């Protein structure tokens, strides 16, 4: 079916901007005339022209009486840019094929309504499931007002993330580590607990060419982050430190003086629900969780983890006191355990990457 062929092209080009459009969705648009693609475009960055505008500019006068394929309903409101629906009408496009309506309940359907009132034929739902998968991060962010969270960890075949002496570099292979840096590149933020900062003094940056460093989020109830830690001194990315109301004020002031942004959430421990809402308010739509066992369990128990990426190395470490990826209090009953869905596995170097949805 031609509609599916052209929509697949729109979905494909939308991914050209993966990790670059936040807090906006990824969108691709294709313009077809006489059964052939004459123009295409994709949204590149928030505040810049949307996919439809790039495609219309490329098509010029040839857009008249054409068919446009777009992965998300054209916008109908003035945001950082003018409404796309009106531009499509002005260009004389005769038919628009939309993969999915805008998930924002405040605007859903209005763009389609503008097109239809102008006499444009509109079909909705072509490859909708693919379009939803493309923008799963945006959909959660805009409908639930919290970020999409991917928990990533590397462990041995027997489930250890370090030896009994604490040695952890490197359990995963070089290819797996490179994959992890690509994950950092496409997520808005990376989150760890204070234990990781104290143990490893990590940079939490993206070490790939032209990579984008994520915002660094540290869950640190008592503001124990060392003032000489890399996340405070390397000036590579914004650092947000979440503390509780009982954190020593002099420590909080010292962290602020070094440029850290402070979020106060919770009385004695960081309240993750408050933190997640505050991060979304700051337009952080996606988080890569690289925490230790305590934070990972807390996030899973609270239901904030959407996806789990587990790199399993063909190594056996042993040790009853060796750390594991998820610790904390644990679930008392198997019925309460987090059961992953939509499981897949692939070989990354010498490791196996197991992927599953937690929500």
| Catalytic annotation, residues | 52
Q: What is the 3-state secondary structure (H, E, C) of 165-209?
A: CCCCCCCCCHHHHHHHHHHHHHCCEEEEEHHHHHHHCCCCCCCCC
Supply 296's token pair.
């990972």
Calpha distance 272→120 (Å, rounded): 46
- How far apart CA 92 and CA 256 sit, in angstroms, is 54
Report the SS3 class of residue 86.
helix
Look at the block and give the residue holding tokens 């008592």.
222
φ, ψ of residue 67 to 5 degrees: the values are -115, 130
Handedness of CA 199, 201, 204, 206 (dihedral sign): negative
How far is residue 176 CA from its own chain's centroid? 19
Provide the β-strand partners of residue 356: 308
Closest of 59, 103, 112 to residue 85, by C-alpha? 112
3-state class (DSSP) for residue 12: helix
Beta bridge partners of 29: 41, 70
**How far is Cα 302 from Cα 252, in angstroms, rounded to an integer?**
26
Would residue 174 be called left, alpha or beta, if left means φ above 0 and alpha means ψ between -120 and 50 degrees?
Answer: alpha
User: Dihedrals φ, ψ of 16, to 5°?
Assistant: -60, -25
Task: Please give the full DSSP string across 39-80, using - where no structure is assigned.
Answer: EEEE--STTS--HHHHHHHHHGGGGTT-EEEESSPPP-S-SS
């Amino acid at each position: 079916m031609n509609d599916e062929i052209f929509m697949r092209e729109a979905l494909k080009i939308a991914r050209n901007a993966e990790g670059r459009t936040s807090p906006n969705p990824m969108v691709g648009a294709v313009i077809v005339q006489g059964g052939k693609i004459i123009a295409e475009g994709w949204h590149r960055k928030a505040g810049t022209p949307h996919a439809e505008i790039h495609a219309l500019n490329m098509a010029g006068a040839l857009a008249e009486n054409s068919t446009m394929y777009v992965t998300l309903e054209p916008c109908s409101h003035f945001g950082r840019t003018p409404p796309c629906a009106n531009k499509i009408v002005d260009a004389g496009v005769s038919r628009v094929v939309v993969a999915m309506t805008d998930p924002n309940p405040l605007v859903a359907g209005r763009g389609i309504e503008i097109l239809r009132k102008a006499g444009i034929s509109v079909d909705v739902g072509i490859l909708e499931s693919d379009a939803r998968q493309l923008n799963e991060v945006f959909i959660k962010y805009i409908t639930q007002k919290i970020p999409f969270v991917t928990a990533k960890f590397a462990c041995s075949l027997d489930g250890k993330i370090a030896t009994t002496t604490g040695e952890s570099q490197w359990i995963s292979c070089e290819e797996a580590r490179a994959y992890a840096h690509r994950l950092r590149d496409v997520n808005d933020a990376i989150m760890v607990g204070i234990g990781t900062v104290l143990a490893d003094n990590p940079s939490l940056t993206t070490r790939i060419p032209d990579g984008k460093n994520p915002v660094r989020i540290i869950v640190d109830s008592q503001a124990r982050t060392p003032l000489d830690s890399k996340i405070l001194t390397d000036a590579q990315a914004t650092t947000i430190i979440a503390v509780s109301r009982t954190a020593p004020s002099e420590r909080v002031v010292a962290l602020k003086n070094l440029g850290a942004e402070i979020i106060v959430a919770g009385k004695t421990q960081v309240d993750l629900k408050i933190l997640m809402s505050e991060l979304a308010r700051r337009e952080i739509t996606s988080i890569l969780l690289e925490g230790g066992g305590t934070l990972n369990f807390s996030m899973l128990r609270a239901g904030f983890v959407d996806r789990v990426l587990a790199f399993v190395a063909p190594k056996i470490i042993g040790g009853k006191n060796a750390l594991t990826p998820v610790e904390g209090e644990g679930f008392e009953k198997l019925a309460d355990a987090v059961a992953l869905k939509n499981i897949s596995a692939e070989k990354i170097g010498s490791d196996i990457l197991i992927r599953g949805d937690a929500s």
